[in-house]
Amino acid sequence: MKAGLALFYVRIALTLFGLNTAEVFAHSEPYSHLDIRLEPGRAHGKVLAHMVDLAHEGGLEKPERLLDRAFAEQNLVILHKVLDSHMLVKINGEPAHFEWQSFRIAPNRRSLSFNWTLPLARSAGKVEVSSPLFPYDPPHETYLNIYENGEIRLQDLLDRTHRSTTHYSGSIQGRIEVAREFVAQGIHHIFIGPDHILFIIGLLLPGGDLLRLLKIITAFTVAHSVTLALATLKLVNLSPSIVEPAIALSIVLVGLESLYTRLQNRRDYRIGLAFAFGLIHGFGFAGVLSDFGLPEGALGLSLASFNIGVEIGQACIVLIVTSVLTLLAARHARYARRMAYLGTLATIAAGGFWFVQRVMEV
């Protein structure tokens, strides 16, 4: 009762000073709602937006006039343009261009609700929604619901700290999109991860016949696949403060092993090292994958696809390195040995630098 009386006096004071109370209290409800419903051949839904946000972005004075249906209808073109520019939605990688249908006024919420539809040439596999609807207002939040054939599949909240979300549908197209996205992410991660690349190169530099090199790479692949799965499924977890220095140290140890084997002319243990350190590298891959986020409805597929992408990237590195080493050995055997020796020293130096750097950052 006292709070209501205080608010009443505040409004009177604002009126006496000639201020618009609706604008002063504009952000007492800084939220919007977006529903997306996926069906065969189309998507449809509705968006609920506060009158103050619509008026602000549409350049309309006196937001409360939007609660008058006649005034709102006169400004529908403006309101639709506001929504078109603020609803940043992509379906199957293509920006959505909504067809606006009916609207209604929700006076108790001081908001307007707009229905929309969107014909689709193929089933919706991937839906991306970016940014809250009205980011000009820092506290603004957009409540997002995505349905498939009438059943809720995703609920999320977009704000200034969480600005985007991605949903993969349960359709065949959705699985195709999952596989495509995570294979690409796996390849991308290998090529932007110099430590993983250098570890693989360190394993290959001492050379050997094709069968032995395949065994080494297979051991690394099996090991990091195991820990990638365990970490992603949250069955085993290691802190990045342990994993990242350990990956750097693995590069140093592989280089030292290769150097020692070359100098002592003894059997090398690269297969065992590849497997042992591959377990550590798998946790590194899992850290990246967890940051990227996995769709709950396609956890196994996304995990397998990411791993396939890693293997494709890894295979490219192996092919390039072995081809260069083979070519050098065939034409300039002495030069090839010298290059392998210098490459091993460089590998040890780089791994040592990363190890010290990462330990210092912990």
| Identity of residue 94 | E
User: pLDDT at position 263, please?
Assistant: 64
DSSP state of 268: -
Contact 254, 312 (CB under 8 A): no
* Distance of alpha carbon 107 from alpha carbon 112, whole angstroms: 8
* Selection from 197, 203, 209, 219 nearest residue 261 by Cα: 203
Instruction: Count the Cβ atoms, other than its own, within 10 Å of residue 263.
Output: 9
Lowest pLDDT segment from 63-67, 134-138, 239-243, 340-344: 340-344
On the question of pLDDT at 17 being above 60, the answer is no
Instruction: Count the Cβ atoms, other than its own, within 10 Å of residue 251.
Output: 29
Q: Regarding beta strands 164-168 and 88-91, do their DSSP bridges make them parallel or antiparallel, or are they unpaired?
A: unpaired
Q: What is residue 92's three-state secondary structure?
A: coil
Which parts of the chain fold into alpha helices (H)?
2-16, 21-24, 51-58, 69-74, 76-86, 172-192, 194-204, 210-232, 240-264, 270-292, 299-331, 333-361
pLDDT 10s digits, 182-195? 999 889 888 888 88
Sheet containing strand 151-158, edge to edge, reads 99-106, 111-119, 42-50, 31-39, 141-148, 151-158
Rounded mean pLDDT, 164-176: 88
User: pLDDT at position 174, please?
Assistant: 86
pTM over 0.75? The answer is no
On the question of pLDDT at 8 being above 70, the answer is no
Q: What is residue 319's three-state secondary structure?
A: helix
pLDDT 10s digits, 278-308? 999 999 888 777 766 677 667 788 888 988 9
Mean pLDDT over each residue of the chain, to the nearest integer: 85
User: pLDDT at position 321, please?
Assistant: 84
Structure tokens at 342: 């210098």
Label each residue of 279-294 as H, E or C: HHHHHHHHHHHHHHCC
Rounded mean pLDDT, 209-226: 86
Question: Which of the listed ranges 9-18, 75-84, 232-241 does the model predict with the highest average pLDDT?
Answer: 75-84
DSSP state of 135: T
265: confidence class by pLDDT, cuts 50, 70, 90: low
Cα separation of the two ends of the chain: 54
On the question of pLDDT at 222 being above 70, the answer is yes
User: pLDDT at position 72, please?
Assistant: 96
264: confidence class by pLDDT, cuts 50, 70, 90: low
Burial of 346 (0-12, 13-18, 19+ CB in 10 A): middle
Lowest pLDDT segment from 42-46, 105-109, 325-329: 325-329
